[in-house]
Structure 1
């Protein structure tokens, strides 16, 4: 198994993250439940930077789930939106920050956006095949 949510968040650097929208500003608190205890992780997002601390302070978006759910998101095995729809995690607050959570837990290594795959497939097709498809 890959990194746990604790290991991942501890290594999450405070450097610029160009994958985050530059206009996004907000705070997230991740409540990670395990063995009857809850660990709190506080993420402050501003100017494409994510600062991680351990705190139970109020946040714009609070996400609660069992440790295995967060560990699965870190490894790319589980998408935050899918976990929410299956009621494996709950969210309270500014749901727009779900986009930030999706980008922080980006998915499996080597994953590509479907649009990138489509563009690559079109670029690989011969020009005549593309023109024939338009007629």
Structure 2
């Protein structure tokens, strides 16, 4: 069984620089709960430069979420902002930082196949 959470954070860490986060500066702590167990990830953002660690440290923004739900978010099967609006994700601190960070979560799998020739989809003239 793959761990979508570890894959997500590993890929983010390996990227080193994420263009979608060039306006972000600060730290985001993710506290993933599974019963009484808490798994912590700390993401440091500096104008697109990204550093990921397993530290449990004070951050500008702290996100608390059930591990299973975060797995779905990291796999593109659930939307972080929709889960927040439903009260399934708790966010403390810098909400703007989290709004910027959520851009790097994968979107849902596409149901429509992409055109191979690069042409537009839709009506033809």
* Partner in structure 2 of residue 15 of structure 1: 16
Question: Does structure 2 conserve the Cα–Cα contact (< 8 Å) formed by 1:3 and 1:75?
Answer: no
Question: Does structure 1 conserve the Cα–Cα contact (< 8 Å) formed by 2:78 and 2:108?
Answer: no
Compute the TM-score of the two structures, normalised by the length of structure 2: 0.79
More helix by share: 1
Q: Using CA pairs below 8 Å that are at least 6 residues apart, which structure has the higher relative contact order?
A: 2
* Partner in structure 2 of residue 115 of structure 1: none
Question: Does structure 1 conserve the Cα–Cα contact (< 8 Å) formed by 2:40 and 2:55?
Answer: yes
Q: Distance in 2 between matches of 1:2 and 1:101?
A: 23
Compute the TM-score of the two structures, normalised by the length of structure 1: 0.74
* Partner in structure 1 of residue 55 of structure 2: 55
Question: Does structure 1 conserve the Cα–Cα contact (< 8 Å) formed by 2:33 and 2:66?
Answer: yes
Q: Which moved more, 1:100-109 or 1:37-46?
A: 100-109
Query: After superposition, what is the alpha-carbon deviation per residue over 1:80-125, rounded to whole angstroms, capped at 9, x for unaligned?
Result: 11000111110000100122331221323559xxxxxxxx558x65
Residues 1-135 of structure 1: pairs in structure 2 closer than 5 A: 3-12=3-12, 13-20=14-21, 22-109=22-109, 120=120, 125-126=124-125
Q: Between Structure 1 and Structure 2, how many residues are aligned?
A: 116
CA RMSD in angstroms, aligned pairs only: 2.2
Give the gaps of 5 or more residues in structure 2.
112-119
Change (3 A) 1:62 1:93: same
Give the gaps of 5 or more residues in structure 1.
112-119, 127-135
The higher radius of gyration belongs to 1
